[in-house]
Every structure is written in structure tokens, then in C-alpha cells.
Amino acid sequence: MDNHINGWDFIESSLKRRNQHQYDLAKFLKISTAAVSQVKHGTIILNLAQLSAICEFLKLSQSQCGKLFSTVLNARYHRHIASGVFDFEECRIAKFRVHCAVDKRSKD
């Protein structure tokens, strides 16, 4: 299975493990359940701050959060490659931002 652009498979399995639902995630993120559904279907693309907030909500370890970020980055990388439009500098910057976001979480 391809990685989901927002890492939804990982998010969904983490929600189930915590006995949480999309509604709970929507409430935490202060967005509508319809917006969570759009995230699930890839209509809305999560940014790094939103992914970090999801890590916080799901109480993911640094390792688990890193796995979510890696899944998302890989999915987006492959999507850009498939589209024929890819900016290596953009990818390098995105990888740096992911590293910083995960590192920041470990210091909090």
C-alpha cells in the first residue's frame, strides 16, 4: 500500500489504539469533523505544525512521531516525483523542518 499523503493509516491506527475517534481529533485540533474527513481523503494537506499537534494528541513517542513525519515526507516525495515536478531544494528544506520539529518535541 502507498503511504498516505497525511499519514492517515498511521494516525488512524494510533487513534484506535488510544480508543479515540476522528471527532476527538477534530475537537483537539479545533477543526470540524468534515475537515478531518478531508484530511483523511487527502483533500486537505497537513502542515508540520498540525502533524506535531497530532503527535501531541496521540501522545506519540519521539520515535513514533518521527515515523509519522517520515511516512508523510516519503508520500509527498513520491507524489512530487510522479507528477514530474520536483524541487530537490524544497525536499532538503522539508527534511530539515521535519528533523527540527521532531527534535523540538524531544526538548519540550
Q: What are the domain boundaries of the chain?
A: 8-107
What band does 97 get if pLDDT is binned at 50, 70 and 90? low
Please compute the mean of the pLDDT values over residues 77-84 and round it to a whole number.
Answer: 62
Phi, psi at residue 44, to the nearest 5°?
-105, 130
**Using one digit for the tens of pLDDT, what is the confidence trace for 25-69?**
999 999 999 999 999 998 888 888 899 999 999 999 999 998 998
- Mean pLDDT (the chain) is 80
Q: CA–CA separation, 37 vs 51, rounded Å?
A: 15
- The CATH T-level fold of domain 8-107 is 434 Repressor (Amino-terminal Domain) (1.10.260)
What percentage of the chain reaches a pLDDT higher than 70? 69
The mean per-residue pLDDT over the stretch 8-36 comes to: 95
